[in-house]
Structure 1
Amino acid sequence: MKYTLVKQLIELAEQYESENPENSSQNLVDFTAWLNGQLMQKKPGDTKMAGRLITPYETVESVLGKLITFLYRYARIYSKKSLENTPLITPDDFTYLAIVFSRGSMTKMEVIESHMQEKTTGMEILKRLLKNGLIEQYDDETDKRSKRLVVTQKGQQVLMGIFPSMGYVASLISGNLTTEEKMQLVYLLNKLHLFHQNIYQESRYQHPEDILKERLPDKYNT
């Protein structure tokens, strides 16, 4: 056997890694979306249609930001409805509880940082979960100043009851996109996420103008 297909996949994987050096996770979902774009030679979406969405008073960047904000608000509306009659008040309550459950245990700051939130906001969410008996805390063995969190039996029962409903929310949010469009969107949004995650970790307190000048000088000068 000549393993021609395997050799092609290896070459494509090397190309993907060279074009995406900032993506430390290098996961299969991102690679599949990238590979789909390479093989199909398609740009995601209809650019002519997208152009008609931009008024003379807007830019493609401002419209992109607006649409991302709208999608976030739609997701919160659907999630809040699904959380009615549960101990969880906000969608963040659900995601905090879910990530601690999936990881087994986490420190408070690990949970907060994973959600890109300020410490005060994150602590309020954790207080609610602790007060409702959905999580419990204990001293970290390596750092006595930190508290580790685990999901209680009650918290697990709440999660198991909510997962089906939140699955409907996830399906609804992805709307009428085809599987190919979903994969393309995952790839593009993750590319943006990695770009902004680096800023959040290193430059979050800088003014946006200074960040743009430093990270995207070509866009700053236009």
Structure 2
Amino acid sequence: MHKKEILKELVEHLFDFDNEFQEEKEYSMADFVGYLNVRYAVQPATIRNIAGEEEKWIKEDDDVNTDISTLLVFMYRYAVVYFKKALKEGPINTLDEFSFLIVLMTYPSLSKTELVQKLIMEKTSGVEVIKRLLKNELIEEFDNPNDKRSVLVAITAKGKEELASLFPKMGLVGSVIVGNLTSAEVSSLSFLLRKLDYYHNDIFLHHRNLSLEELRDRKDL
């Protein structure tokens, strides 16, 4: 293939990418590279099989979407194991606590509801995380001057210090989690996961009372 043909095909892919993700406010070169990697990834991978020989009808009825859902759950469980290794010392004890602090690090303050929603948690579970962070003086709470019904939370100097001390270990966790993926595959995975997060976050915030059938059949999500 000549250079002009490659360039022409690249431009066509860019327009396809832009049309497909026109709802995104911004995207980067890494997003576009990830998109291309998904289109052209053909390298086979060594995989493990967790299924036994019984109940062959389950295998016959299996589909790739169910497989992806199961593997995402597995990846979460692997990640939790690695995060626990990084968090075994200090006042930050769980991945949820770490995530809450990371988000608060990027805002002057947030209401408790805003914080919980950004971390995709149910209110009761999120409030428990906030209570633990308050107890350990990693965050502080104060009245919202613009809304007397609301309480704001912000990260404390101690919280920032503890968070900063964990960054090197969290970098190691990230390296372990991406495992044997190539740089191109990491870029592709990042692109795909952020695309899914954008889709499911809208459901979580605005449509989570719908049934599975209704969610499946919606065309405007």
TM range (shorter): 0.7 to 0.9
Q: Which residue of 2 aligns with 1:170?
A: 174
Count of residues in Structure 1 that have an aligned counterpart in Structure 2:
207
- How far residue 151 of structure 1 moved from its aligned partner, in angstroms, is 1.2
Q: 2:41 aligns with which of 43, 55, 62?
A: 43
TM-score (norm 2): 0.81
- How far residue 123 of structure 1 moved from its aligned partner, in angstroms, is 0.6
Q: Which residue of 1 aligns with 2:22?
A: 21
Contact 2:101 2:155 in 1 (8 A): yes
Contact 1:44 1:181 in 2 (8 A): no
TM-score (norm 1): 0.81
Q: Residues 36, 68 of structure 1: CA spacing in aligned structure 2 closer, same or farther, 3 A cutoff? A: closer
| Partner-residue secondary structure (3-state), 1:146 | strand
Distance of 2:65 and 2:20 partners within structure 1:
23
Query: Tell me, which stretches of 5 or more residues in structure 2 are unaligned?
Result: 52-58
Q: Does 1:127 align with 2:128?
A: no
Counterpart code for 1:34: Y
Counterpart code for 2:21: N
Q: Which residue of 2 aligns with 1:202?
A: 206
Distance of 1:183 and 1:127 partners within structure 2:
36
Q: Residues 62, 45 of structure 1: CA spacing in aligned structure 2 closer, same or farther, 3 A cutoff? A: farther
Contact 1:106 1:150 in 2 (8 A): yes
Q: Which deviations, in whole Å up to 9, do the C-alpha atoms of 1:48-82 show, x marking residues without a partner?
A: x78x8994352111111111000000111111121
Q: Which residue of 2 aligns with 1:33?
A: 34
Q: Which residue of 2 aligns with 1:220?
A: none
| Partner-residue secondary structure (3-state), 1:158 | helix
Q: Which deviations, in whole Å up to 9, do the C-alpha atoms of 1:128-157 show, x marking residues without a partner?
A: 000110000122232222222221111111
Contact 2:33 2:188 in 1 (8 A): no
Distance of 2:63 and 2:156 partners within structure 1:
48
Alignment of 1:1-222 (within 5 A): 14-36=15-37, 42-43=40-41, 45-46=43-44, 55-215=59-219
The CA RMSD over aligned residues, in Å, is: 2.9
Identity level (%): 35
Q: Which deviations, in whole Å up to 9, do the C-alpha atoms of 1:157-192 show, x marking residues without a partner?
A: 111111111111111111110110011111111222
Counterpart code for 1:23: E
Contact 1:22 1:194 in 2 (8 A): no
Q: Residues 14, 149 of structure 1: CA spacing in aligned structure 2 closer, same or farther, 3 A cutoff? A: farther
| Partner-residue secondary structure (3-state), 2:189 | helix
Query: Tell me, which stretches of 5 or more residues in structure 1 are unaligned?
Result: 217-222
| Partner-residue secondary structure (3-state), 1:87 | coil
Q: Which residue of 1 aligns with 2:56?
A: none
